[in-house]
């Protein structure tokens, strides 16, 4: 782990890191940096900071490092780290909370992951289920990776693994309402946390 200048850490940074941990239901003091979470993470090799380091930077209040890390955006939310932790630190939820904080701070260190998230939510909200072919098309268009699936798409169409028909769930209105409720709750929680209160 690289050295950090602790004198550059502000009270606001410390509070923001504590708020991220609180959102994940984690007490940062519980982590004693044993590394069991990192040892079990199937994606550690692709990460710029190890899961253990994300917790350490939160403990130290290094907000900028945490919010610009690619790790939470690469995390697959598999929960192995949280299961292995001898201190019951919920690292998986921490990754999710960091990702949300990073998005709301406009950091987007892995732009594609953010675009995919938004496309997936829009897809499920519209149809009540995920229509993979339209999800892939929306993602490719918004990310600029236009030809990314062209070769596979033709093969999959020929084998009828995907089609052009749109599948809509019977309960799609309820799913859309659920998505809206979750987004509104997230907006309200953030407004409350930043002291602006109550606007959703």
Token code pair at residue 183: 């987004």
Q: In degrees to the nearest 10, what's the CA dihedral of 34, 36, 39, 43? A: -110
Q: Rule CB under 6 A: is residue 28 a binding residue for ligand SF4?
A: no
Q: Which stretch binds ligand SF4 (CB under 6 A): 30-38, 98-106, 128-136, 191-199?
A: 30-38
To ligand SF4, the closest distance from the beta carbon of 130 in angstroms equals 21
- Binding test (CB under 6 A) with ligand SF4, winner from 36, 104, 188, 190: 36
In the complex with ligand SF4, the residue whose CB is nearer, 76 or 184, is 76
Q: Rule CB under 6 A: is residue 55 a binding residue for ligand SF4?
A: yes
Q: Rule CB under 6 A: is residue 99 a binding residue for ligand SF4?
A: no
C-alpha span between 190 and 200 (Å, rounded) = 9
Query: DSSP H helical segments within 128-171, as ranges?
Result: 132-143, 150-158
What residues from 78 to 97 belong to the interface with ligand SF4 (CB under 6 A)? 78-81, 84-85, 87, 89, 91-92, 95
The HSE-up count of residue 11 (CA atoms within 13 Å, CB side) is 0
C-alpha span between 45 and 81 (Å, rounded) = 14
C-alpha span between 110 and 103 (Å, rounded) = 10
Q: Give the residues lining the site for ligand SF4 (CB under 6 A).
A: 31-37, 40-41, 43, 51-52, 55, 75-81, 84-85, 87, 89, 91-92, 95
């Amino acid at each position: 782990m690289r050295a950090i200048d602790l004198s550059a850490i502000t009270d606001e940074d410390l509070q923001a890191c504590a708020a991220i941990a609180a959102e994940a239901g984690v007490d940062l003091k519980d982590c004693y940096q044993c590394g069991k979470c990192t040892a079990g993470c199937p994606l550690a090799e692709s990460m710029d900071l190890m899961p253990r380091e994300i917790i350490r930077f939160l403990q130290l209040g290094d907000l900028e490092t945490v919010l610009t890390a690619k790790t939470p955006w690469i995390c697959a939310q598999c929960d192995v780290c949280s299961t292995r932790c001898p201190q019951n630190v919920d690292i998986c939820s921490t990754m999710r909370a960091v990702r949300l904080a990073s998005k709301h701070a406009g950091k987007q260190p892995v732009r594609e992951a953010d675009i995919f998230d938004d496309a997936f939510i829009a897809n499920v909200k519209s149809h009540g289920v995920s229509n993979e072919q339209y999800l892939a098309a929306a993602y490719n268009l918004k990310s600029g990776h236009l030809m990314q699936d062209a070769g596979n798409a033709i093969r999959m169409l020929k084998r009828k693994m995907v089609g052009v028909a749109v599948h809509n769930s019977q309960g799609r209105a309820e799913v859309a309402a659920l998505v809206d409720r979750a987004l509104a709750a997230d907006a309200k929680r953030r407004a409350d946390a930043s002291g602006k209160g109550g606007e959703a």
